[in-house]
C-alpha cells in the first residue's frame, strides 16, 4: 500500500516548545513522508487570523506545499490553545481548504495539554484527533494513520534495557512503599540553611555521610493576576521548606521576569511561570525558603545585572547560562547571539568572582532543535571549558536524558558517560565537576500512574551512568511526574522526590543481589561510547586548531556560525547560521546521528572539515561588523 500525503506542522510563536514538533517531523520523514514545518512568519500569522493578509499567507503556505495533513501544537494555557485552534479550524473551513470542500487538507490534528485536548475532542468529536503528550513513538504514528509497513526499524525494535527498567519501575510503584519515606536530614554542617550556605558545602557534607544525591525541584505557578500568582508561590515555598525533601528550589520564573525584570509589563504577553518583578520579592522568597538552597533562570537581556540581583537577594545556589540560546535564535530574548555570548562571558567572570558554581544550560537546547548526540556532548564541553577559562571553580553538569524521548537507554548511558568523561578531563585542583542528571521535558505521560513509572525508570538509568560509585550522581534534578498533565504542586514535588529516592535505593539493592544484570549491555554501551568519544574529540580538536581563541566571544560565535554544531531545526536566525542548519539528523538504533541526503551517517571529521572552510569567512564578517 502506497500512502501519499504531506504533513504540515504548525505552532504559535508564543509557544517556545519545539522539541515535540521536531521529533514528530523526524519520525514522519523516517517513514518516508514529506514534512513541512511552519516558520516564524506562519507562526505569527495564525495568532491573528482576523487579519486578511495573515489568512492569505496561511492559505498560500498550505496550498503551495500541498499539505494534506495539518497538525497544530500549543503546550501553554489550555483555554488559549483551544481558542487558537478553533480559530484556525474555522478559518480553514471558511476559505474552503478542506478536502470535502475541494481543498487539499484531509485531516487536522491538535497537540496540547490534556485539558486543551479534552476541550478540542468534545467540540469536534471525531473530526480532530489529538495528542495529549506521552504517546509512544508507535502510538504517535498510529494516530497520524501511518501504516505498520511504514514504521522505521527503531520503532519496531526497541531496547531490551528500557523494557527491564520499566518493568522494575512498574513493580516499585505498585508496591507504594515510597510514600513512607521521610526527608533526609542534612543539617549537620555549620552553614546549613544560612546565608553562607552553598551547594558545594551540602554536597561535600552529604558525600561524607553517604547521603547523596541532593534533590533539586523546579516550581512556579502562573496566574493572570500577578499579585495572586506571587502570593500562591510564597505559599508553595513555605510548604516545600517543611518538610524539606527539596534541597535546591529552582524558581520557575515567567518569561517577562527573565526578559523585562523591573519594568512595566502592561499589555506584554507572558509565557507561564511565576511573574516575579522586584528584588524585594526575591528576598522574601529566600527568607521563607529556609533551609532550601535557591536558584532561578538567567535573564535574557542585561544578564550580568540580573545575575548580581540574584546573588544579592537569593544567595543563588548556582548560575545557569545558555550561550547560544534564550536570545534571537529561539525568540526568548532580544539579544543577538553575539551580544548574548558577550553578556554571558561577562557574567561568567562575575560568577567566578563570587565563587559560585555554573551550570551550562546548553546541550539539551541543541537537542530540542534536532542536533545529534555528538553536538550535545561537544556543546557542553565547550561551555564547561569557557567557564574554566573565565575562572569558574565549580561546574554543575546538567544532563537531560531521553531527549528526544525515542532515544534508547543504552545510548543515553553511552552519551552520559562520554559527556562526563570529557568534561571531567578539565578537572584539576581549581576546577571540579558535579553531575546532575534529569528526565527529559517531553518524556512524561499525562496518565499520572504511567508517569510515576516513567520517573522511577529514568531514576534507575541515572544510577547506571557511574554504577560503581554510590556517591554519584551528586544532584538529581527531579522533574515532577505531573509535567505531562499539569504544573506540579508542593505535594506532587515531594511525592516525585520520594519516588526518586525509593527507585534509586531499590534499583541498587536489586543490582547488588544480581537480580538486575547490567553486564549484558556493557559491550554495546562501550562500542557506542568509543564511537561518540572519537567523533566528539575530532570536532573539539578541529575547533581548537582552527580558531585562535575558541573560548572567547568571537570564538564561540564562530564555532556555531561555521557549522561545527549541526542544528537542523533552528527556529529563527536561519540566514545567519546557514552552516548550522545545512546538516540533517536521523534517529538510528536509538541514537541521533547526522546523515546526508541519502540517509547515510556523516562522520564528524567530514562535519569538522566543512566547518573549517567557513571559519575564515565568519571571522572576516565579525571584523567588518566591529569596524562598522
pLDDT digits 0-9 by tens, 45-84: 888 888 889 999 999 999 999 999 999 988 777 888 888 8
Of residues 43, 117, 37, 41, the one with CA closest to residue 79:
117
**pLDDT on residue 14:** 59
Residue position matching grid coordinates 574529540:
537
Instruction: Determine the 3-state secondary structure of 110 from DSSP.
Output: strand
- Domain for residue 383, yes or no? yes
Instruction: Record the cell numbers describing residue 426, joined without a space.
Output: 578539565
Distance set, CA 90 to CA 87, 111, 128, 372 (Å): 5, 17, 13, 38
Q: CATH code at 93?
A: 3.40.50.280
- Domain for residue 566, yes or no? no
The per-residue pLDDT for range 491-522, each reduced to its tens digit, is 999 999 999 999 999 999 999 998 888 888 99
The per-residue pLDDT for range 39-56, each reduced to its tens digit, is 878 888 888 888 889 999
* Average pLDDT of the chain to the nearest whole number: 91
Q: How many domains does the chain have?
A: 2
Residue 271, pLDDT > 90, answer no
Both 142 and 167 in a single domain? no
Both 165 and 68 in a single domain? no
**pLDDT on residue 15:** 59
- Domain for residue 111, yes or no? yes
Both 113 and 166 in a single domain? no
Strand blocks (E) in 245-354: 248-251, 293-296, 319-321
| Cα dihedral sign, 540-620-556-370 | negative
Name which of 217-221, 342-346, 482-486 the model is least confident about: 482-486
- Domain for residue 540, yes or no? no
**pLDDT on residue 241:** 95
Both 118 and 249 in a single domain? no
Both 243 and 283 in a single domain? yes
Residue 624, pLDDT > 90, answer no
| Boundary-marking domain end, from 116, 136, 156 | 156
- Domain for residue 545, yes or no? no
Yes or no: say if 384 and 394 are a contact pair by the CB < 8 Å rule. Answer: no
The per-residue pLDDT for range 153-162, each reduced to its tens digit, is 666 656 789 9
Yes or no: say if 435 and 473 are a contact pair by the CB < 8 Å rule. Answer: yes
Selection from 64-78, 140-154, 353-367 with the highest mean pLDDT: 353-367
Residue 20, pLDDT > 70, answer no
Distance CA 369, CA 323 (A): 15
Query: In what order do the strands lie in the sheet containing 6-11?
Result: 34-37, 6-11, 69-74, 107-112, 128-131
Instruction: Record the cell numbers describing residue 483, joined without a space.
Output: 509535567
Residue 374, pLDDT > 80, answer yes
**pLDDT on residue 94:** 92
Both 234 and 113 in a single domain? no
Both 370 and 246 in a single domain? yes
Strand blocks (E) in 297-450: 319-321, 358-360, 394-400, 432-438
| Helix or strand holding residue 78 (H, E) | helix 78-94
Distance CA 236, CA 230 (A): 10
CA-atom Rg of the chain in angstroms = 24
- Domain for residue 550, yes or no? no
Both 129 and 186 in a single domain? no
**pLDDT on residue 136:** 75
| Boundary-marking domain end, from 156, 176, 199 | 156
Both 374 and 268 in a single domain? yes
**pLDDT on residue 2:** 54
Both 112 and 164 in a single domain? no
User: How distant is the alpha carbon of residue 175 from its chain centre?
Assistant: 31
Distance CA 75, CA 14 (A): 10
Yes or no: say if 371 and 566 are a contact pair by the CB < 8 Å rule. Answer: yes
- Domain for residue 108, yes or no? yes
The per-residue pLDDT for range 404-419, each reduced to its tens digit, is 888 899 999 999 999 9
| Boundary-marking domain end, from 127, 156, 185 | 156
Both 242 and 122 in a single domain? no
Distance CA 621, CA 557 (A): 11
- Domain for residue 141, yes or no? yes
Q: CATH code at 308?
A: 3.20.20.240
Name which of 182-196, 273-287, 316-330, 435-449 the model is least confident about: 435-449
Write the CB contacts of 126 (distance below 8 Å, at least 6 apart in sequence). none
Instruction: Record the cell numbers describing residue 296, joined without a space.
Output: 532561578
DSSP 287-317: HHTTTSEEEEPPPSSSHHHHHHHHHHHH--S
Q: Average pLDDT, stretch 443-451?
A: 90
Sequence length of the chain is 628
Domain coverage including residue 119: 6-156
Both 122 and 168 in a single domain? no
SS3 content of the chain, % helix, strand, coil (to 5): 50, 15, 35
Name which of 81-95, 142-156, 443-457 the model is least confident about: 142-156
Residue 527 DSSP class: H
Q: How many CA atoms lie within 13 A of 346 on its CB side?
A: 14
Distance CA 240, CA 493 (A): 8
Amino acid at each position: 500500500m502506497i500512502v501519499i500525503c504531506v504533513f504540515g506542522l504548525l505552532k504559535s510563536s508564543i509557544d517556545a516548545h519545539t522539541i515535540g514538533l521536531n521529533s514528530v517531523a523526524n519520525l514522519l520523514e523516517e517513514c518516508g513522508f514529506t514534512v513541512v514545518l511552519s516558520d516564524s512568519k506562519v507562526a505569527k500569522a495564525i495568532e491573528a487570523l482576523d487579519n486578511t493578509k495573515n489568512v492569505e499567507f496561511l492559505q498560500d503556505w498550505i496550498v503551495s506545499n500541498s499539505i494534506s495533513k495539518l497538525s497544530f501544537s500549543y503546550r501553554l494555557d489550555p483555554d488559549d490553545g483551544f481558542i487558537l485552534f478553533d480559530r484556525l479550524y474555522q478559518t480553514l473551513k471558511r476559505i474552503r481548504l478542506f478536502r470535502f470542500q475541494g481543498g487539499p487538507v484531509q485531516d487536522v490534528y491538535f497537540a496540547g495539554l490534556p485539558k486543551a485536548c479534552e476541550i478540542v475532542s468534545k467540540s469536534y468529536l471525531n473530526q480532530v484527533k489529538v495528542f495529549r503528550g506521552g504517546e509512544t513513538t508507535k502510538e504517535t504514528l498510529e494516530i497520524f494513520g501511518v501504516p505498520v509497513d511504514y514504521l522505521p526499524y527503531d520503532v519496531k525494535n526497541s531496547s531490551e534495557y528500557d523494557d527491564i527498567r520499566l518493568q522494575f519501575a512498574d513493580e516499585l510503584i505498585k508496591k507504594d512503599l515510597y510514600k513512607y519515606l521521610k526527608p533526609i536530614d542534612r543539617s549537620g554542617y555549620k552553614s546549613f540553611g544560612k546565608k553562607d550556605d552553598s551547594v558545594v558545602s551540602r554536597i561535600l557534607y552529604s558525600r561524607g555521610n553517604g547521603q547523596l544525591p541532593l534533590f533539586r525541584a523546579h516550581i512556579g505557578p502562573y496566574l493572570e493576576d500577578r499579585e495572586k500568582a506571587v502570593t500562591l508561590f510564597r505559599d508553595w515555598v513555605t510548604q516545600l521548606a517543611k518538610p524539606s525533601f527539596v534541597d535546591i528550589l529552582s524558581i520557575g520564573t515567567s518569561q517577562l521576569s527573565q526578559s523585562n525584570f523591573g519594568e512595566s509589563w502592561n499589555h506584554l504577553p507572558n509565557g507561564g511561570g511565576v511573574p516575579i518583578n522586584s528584588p524585594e520579592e526575591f528576598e522574601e522568597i529566600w527568607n521563607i525558603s529556609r533551609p532550601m538552597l535557591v536558584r532561578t533562570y538567567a535573564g535574557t537581556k542585561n544578564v550580568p545585572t540580573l545575575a548580581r540581583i540574584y546573588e544579592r537577594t537569593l544567595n543563588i545556589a548556582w548560575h545557569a547560562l545558555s550561550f547560544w540560546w534564550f536570545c534571537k535564535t529561539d525568540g526568548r530574548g532580544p539579544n543577538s547571539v553575539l551580544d548574548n555570548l558577550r553578556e554571558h562571558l561577562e557574567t561568567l567572570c562575575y560568577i567566578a568572582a563570587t565563587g559560585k558554581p555554573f551550570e551550562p544550560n546548553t546541550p539539551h537546547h541543541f537537542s530540542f532543535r534536532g542536533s545529534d548526540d555528538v553536538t550535545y556532548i561537544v556543546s557542553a564541553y565547550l561551555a564547561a571549558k569557557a567557564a574554566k577559562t573565565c575562572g569558574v571553580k565549580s561546574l554543575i553538569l546538567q544532563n537531560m536524558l531521553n531527549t528526544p524521548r525515542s532515544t534508547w537507554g543504552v545510548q543515553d548511558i553511552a552519551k552520559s558517560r562520554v559527556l562526563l568523561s570529557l568534561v571531567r578531563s578539565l578537572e584539576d585542583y581549581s576546577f571540579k565537576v558535579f553531575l546532575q542528571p534529569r528526565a527529559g521535558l517531553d518524556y512524561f505521560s499525562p496518565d499520572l500512574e504511567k508517569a510515576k513509572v516513567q520517573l522511577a525508570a529514568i531514576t534507575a538509568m541515572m544510577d547506571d551512568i557511574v554504577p560503581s560509585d554510590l556517591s554519584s550522581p551528586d544532584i538529581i534534578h527531579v522533574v515532577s511526574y505531573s509535567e505531562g498533565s499539569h504544573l506540579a504542586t508542593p505535594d506532587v514535588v515531594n511525592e516525585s522526590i520520594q519516588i526518586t529516592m525509593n527507585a534509586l535505593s531499590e534499583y541498587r539493592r536489586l543490582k547488588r543481589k544480581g537480580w538486575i544484570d547490567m553486564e549484558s549491555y556493557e559491550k554495546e554501551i562501550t562500542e557506542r561510547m568509543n564511537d561518540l568519544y572519537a567523533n566528539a574529540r575530532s570536532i573539539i580538536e578541529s575547533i581548537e586548531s582552527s580558531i585562535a581563541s575558541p573560548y572567547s566571544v568571537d570564538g564561540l560565535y564562530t564555532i556555531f556560525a561555521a557549522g561545527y554544531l549541526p542544528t537542523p531545526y533552528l527556529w529563527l536566525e536561519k540566514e545567519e547560521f546557514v552552516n548550522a542548519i545545512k546538516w540533517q539528523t536521523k534517529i538510528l538504533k536509538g541514537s541521533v546521528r547526522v546523515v546526508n541526503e541519502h540517509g547515510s551517517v556523516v562522520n564528524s571529521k567530514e562535519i569538522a572539515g566543512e566547518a573549517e572552510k567557513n571559519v575564515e569567512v565568519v571571522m572576516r564578517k565579525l571584523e567588518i561588523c566591529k569596524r562598522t
